């Protein structure tokens, strides 16, 4: 069961997110991480023309190439997982004037690394060809108990980013915080890929409100 943490990296001390990405890529390679393949995440948001402008967000992730992840606003954090033809279905509904795309597409393009038992994805976020920031995803793979997996990721982030434990906890998204609360209530709360995509969605929606970098 893969446990993952997705965070937005601060880039204010660099000339650009691209320069920050080069710094972190170099640090990963010098630390022994191995490049494996390109990494990408896409978000397309469809606005309903029939249900009071309700928005359906559809995400895809290169780690799950056969799947699409759909999230409707005000749906109590429930995410629909479908096959990768779901975007084609939404585009068909768009031609039937049930939905339209009002919000710009967001995409992450970067590199996937492997380091010991970690999978590390680092990429630049763009919105309509405008750079919005830098995202880091760290996943720990061979772990039956999700609590220990999260703790190991936290230790990795503290070492890699030179962050204190409180700084890491402050950087995580609301979606991951919700899962951690459920982890405290239960002995071992299940972690699913949907939780990773909800973390991305949290960051994307927040980036849409931020000025361009």
Token pair, residue 178, equals 């919700």
pLDDT score, position 188:
61
Residue 180 burial (CB < 10 Å; 0-12/13-18/19+)? middle
Per-residue pLDDT at 118? 95
Residue 213 has pLDDT above 60, yes or no: no
What is 61-104 written as a DSSP string?
Answer: ETTSTTEEEEEETTSTT-EEEEETTHHHHHHHHHHTTSEE--SP
Model confidence pLDDT, tens digit, residues 149-174: 888 999 999 999 988 888 888 888 88
Average confidence (pLDDT) over 191-206: 92
Long-range CB pairs of 206-209, under 8 A, 24+ apart, other chains included: 206/8, 207/8, 207/106, 207/125, 207/127, 207/132, 207/133, 208/103, 208/104, 208/106, 208/127, 208/132
* Confidence (pLDDT) at 164: 87
More reliable by pLDDT, 84 or 208: 208
**What are the structural domains of the chain?**
3-209 (2.40.320)
């Amino acid at each position: 069961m893969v446990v993952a943490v997705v965070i937005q990296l601060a880039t204010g001390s660099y000339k650009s997110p691209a320069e920050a990405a080069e710094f972190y890529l170099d640090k990963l390679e010098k630390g022994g991480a191995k490049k494996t393949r390109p990494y990408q995440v896409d978000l397309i948001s469809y606005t309903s023309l029939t249900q009071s402008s309700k928005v359906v967000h559809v995400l895809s992730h290169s780690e799950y190439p056969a799947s699409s992840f759909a999230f409707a606003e005000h749906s109590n954090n429930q995410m629909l997982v479908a096959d990768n033809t779901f975007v084609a279905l939404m585009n068909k509904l768009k031609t039937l004037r049930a939905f339209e795309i009002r919000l710009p597409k967001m995409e992450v393009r970067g590199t996937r690394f492997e380091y010991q038992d970690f999978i590390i994805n680092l990429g630049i976020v763009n919105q309509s060809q405008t750079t919005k920031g830098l995202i880091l995803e760290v996943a720990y793979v061979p772990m039956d108990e999700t609590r220990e997996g999260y703790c190991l990721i936290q230790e990795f982030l503290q070492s890699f980013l030179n962050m204190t434990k409180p700084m890491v906890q402050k950087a995580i998204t609301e979606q991951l915080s919700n899962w951690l609360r459920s982890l405290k209530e239960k002995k071992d709360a299940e972690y699913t890929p949907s939780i990773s995509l909800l973390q991305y969605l949290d960051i994307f929606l927040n980036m849409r409100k931020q000025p361009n970098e």
